[in-house]
Amino acid sequence: MRYELKGNILQYCNEEEEEEALANLIENVIFDSEDIYTHYKTKEKSLLKYHKDKKTPLPNLPELVIYNIIVKIPADYLQKYRYLCKSWHDIISSKMFIAQNFIHSKAELLILVKKRSYFKATSLRMDEKEFDFKLDNFGLARMGRIRSSCNGLLLINDPKIEGKLNVINFLTKCKAILPQCPSGCPHKTCGVALGFSLSTKEYKVVHIYADGFGYEIFTLGCSDNKWKCIPGPFKEPHERPFNLDTFHWSDPVSIHGQVLHWYVSSKEYVISMDVNDETPRKTYLPTPGKKIDRKRYSLLEMGGYLSFVYNVSNIKIDVWILKDFAAQVWVKKHSILSESVNYTVSKNPSLPNKYEHSLPNFHKLVALASLRNGEVMMFKHENSKNDGRIYLYEIKHMELKTFKINIKDESKVVPHRSSLVCWKTESDLLPR
């Protein structure tokens, strides 16, 4: 038998989307010639050697076979198998395994509801086949406000200490506490997100409060434990598209922790930053002929791209995606037209009958997030009398369905995927 080199990633990872997510997380591993995953027998030989060196007993089945099975088990279920035996502990704790397992991690939306002095989160997961979803409790009974999610890690306000930010993985129970920002921001009305720099393999928290002060960036595990300040996106006061008295920065849209996009109340552009180069720039919005009303659009992540969702009229919503960030190329993905939409109401006794057949006014639908890798969009109604009503729109079949869930007008929705990323000290999060 001839042995063939199949690149330096596991051979069964062959879909384009999977490769991107793997590249997002995998360490800068340079495989030793013994460790290259090629033919089954070569791997077995190296594993035998690994076990002899470590003096651990070899499980009955070749480790590669076990690896390929358990890598597909969702992270939540995988935790208990950590202590099945020492070999499984080593497999599950390895960075390679964590990265591969993350690829199979299912997307969920965390819906935050404010309860007096703390927050409660619910996780929404779309059903694989049906146009329906499941809700589960998420995290702790009393949590701080979740700001952002990246590779399974959550950036959360500390519920007890104002102005304190934490990075937590609820699955592995690991927590990193961030030092106070130089700006002294209480983290109530600012824009902050957790990102992952592919080039340096570092986790970074990017924060903006008063843009005159500039951006504050913190790298997890950094030796000096200090925030770095870089200039904000606007130099002169008149350059700002927003009214300084009324505007607050808000949390940006995160594209897989790589690129962040902030709404700045502008009819022309948004402010973007690639986490790798930490340079803010303007991303111009698509110009669909008419002038853009800056109060009538939402930004969200959709299938790995930034999406610009514009409420054109009360019967039309345009959905654009930024296909090329560097070249600023937008593509109109879809138009939601009230006349073409197939509208249904989910079977829920709490919804009053008068809602049965009336399509919502499209002007009032605010896009919150996307699901099923961009195939489904979630909207809420601007009118707070419709608290608890969400609308799911399935693009391919143009199906719009309304549901009632526990969501308030000001509730935030954070896209999330769980992972087994863990650390004992924060420096573990840095590349070795």
Partner 1 sequence: MSNTSENPKPSSSSAKMTLKTSDNELFEVEEAVAMKFCTVKQYFEDEKDSDVAARGSTTVIPLPNVHSAVLATLISYGKKLPQSNAVADNHEEEETKKKERKKYEQGLLKNLMPGELLDLISAANYLDFKEGLEFFNQALADHIQNKSVEYVRKFFGIKNDYEPHEEEKYREEYAWAFEGVDED
- Minimum Å distance from CB 423 to partner 1? 16
The closest alpha carbon to 299, from 359, 340, 259, belongs to 259
Q: Per-residue b/e over 177-191, b at no fewer than 16 CB within 10 Å?
A: ebeebebebebeebb
Q: How far is CA 1 from each of CA 4, 39, 226, 284, rounded to the nearest angstrom?
A: 9, 9, 55, 55
Q: Which of residues 51, 86, 120, 408 is near partner 1 by CB under 8 A?
A: 86
What SS3 class is residue 124?
strand
Question: What is the footprint of partner 1 within residues 193-252 (CB under 8 A)?
Answer: none
Binding-residue total with partner 1 (CB under 8 A): 36
Tokens of 182: 């130089």
Q: Which of residues 28, 40, 114, 277 is near partner 1 by CB under 8 A?
A: 40
Q: Exposed, middle or buried: residue 72 (CB in 10 Å: 0-12, 13-18, 19+)?
A: exposed
Report CA torsion sign: 96, 196, 148, 422.
Answer: positive
Give the separation between CA 19 and CA 77, rounded to whole angstroms.
23
The CB density around residue 387, as the number of other CB atoms within 10 Å, is 15
Q: Which of residues 22, 29, 36, 64 is near partner 1 by CB under 8 A?
A: 64
Residue 83 contacts partner 1 per CB under 8 A: yes
Q: Which of residues 57, 179, 212, 431 is near partner 1 by CB under 8 A?
A: 57
Q: Which helix (H) or strand (E) holds 51?
A: helix 40-54
- Minimum Å distance from CB 11 to partner 1? 7
Residue 125 contacts partner 1 per CB under 8 A: no
Distance of CA 332 to the CA centre of its chain: 23
Residue 74 contacts partner 1 per CB under 8 A: yes
- Minimum Å distance from CB 7 to partner 1? 14
Q: Which of residues 5, 53, 60, 354 is near partner 1 by CB under 8 A?
A: 60
Residue 396 contacts partner 1 per CB under 8 A: no
- Minimum Å distance from CB 132 to partner 1? 18
Whether 225 and 179 have beta carbons less than 8 Å apart is answered as: yes
What SS3 class is residue 112?
strand
Query: Which residue's structure tokens are 């890798």?
Result: 373
Kindly tell me which of 83 and 284 has the beta carbon lying closer to partner 1.
Answer: 83
Q: How far is CA 300 from each of CA 226, 263, 297, rounded to the nearest angstrom?
A: 30, 10, 10
- Minimum Å distance from CB 45 to partner 1? 15
Residue 69 contacts partner 1 per CB under 8 A: yes
Q: Which of residues 23, 61, 177, 329 is near partner 1 by CB under 8 A?
A: 61
- Minimum Å distance from CB 377 to partner 1? 23
Residue 7 contacts partner 1 per CB under 8 A: no
- Minimum Å distance from CB 4 to partner 1? 8
- Minimum Å distance from CB 76 to partner 1? 8
Give the separation between CA 169 and CA 152, rounded to whole angstroms.
6
Residue 177 contacts partner 1 per CB under 8 A: no
Binding site for partner 1 (CB under 8 A): 1-2, 11-12, 14, 39-40, 56-57, 59-62, 64-66, 68-74, 76-77, 79-88, 173
